[in-house]
Chains A and B, each alone.
Chain A
């Protein structure tokens, strides 16, 4: 492997890492915000659709989560302009399933049992295979 290829490999890994990290932080913040807000069906039954929308938009954690999702999206667009779509899209999509499972276990205290680990790894492998 020459120096140019090695440099490209590191650049691709850095771009994929940025997409995955931003997407995971965004997903965890949004999930945490929705858990704190409570069941949207109940809120809508009590306060109507506008009340449910205001409850979501009034959560700073939700707004921060959406900001990180936007960072992830712009990192994805940036990566598409510098690397192959066939590498960036499946690698970032499949890795995000695994990092989300790890983050949900530690930050959201979700019970990620063996069943969910296997499901996350199967989806990760499935997404990678479908992009081939």
Chain B
């Protein structure tokens, strides 16, 4: 049986999942570009990479992403959380267009349209499938009469 477990606060948590993952990845990518290529023989250079502000900010955002992703999976289905949080791809593309003035090809606009449609589609449906847990199904068994 499926039903909606979503509240305004939970939509905000899904928003955090959507925004922090792509922004964290982007900051890590910018930070690692500044650090330069790291050789397998000099992995200790990765520790120095932690002094880069972009990498620290990226790690902080990815910790936020993972904790809110775990929280969302405790009250919503995986097949609800993944499409609903994919709006992050759209947010990053729009930031690139209007903040960094990058060119977005018609194919990308079509991609943005499809993802937005998917999010709208799944968001209107139920968010959680009620599956009886093993100990709950055991409780359905008639209890033994007390002697």
Contacts and interface: CB of A to CB of B under 8 A. Distances in A.
Given A38-B74, A100-B79, A129 B125 contact: no
Main secondary structure of the interface of B (DSSP, over half): helix
B118 A111 contact: no
Interface residues on B, range: 35 or more
Contact of A40 (B71, B80, B114, B115): B71
A35 B89 CA distance: 26
Nearest to A62: B70
Interface string A91-131: 00000010011001100111111011011101101111111
Interface residues on A, range: 35 or more
Contacts, number: 122
Contacts of A111: 1-2, 77, 126, 129
Contact of B107 (A27, A100, A113, A129): A129
Interface in A34-52: 34-41
A49 to B, nearest CB: 10
Interface of B: 1-2, 70-71, 73-75, 77-80, 82-83, 86, 89, 93, 105, 107-108, 110-115, 117-119, 121-122, 124-126, 129, 131, 133
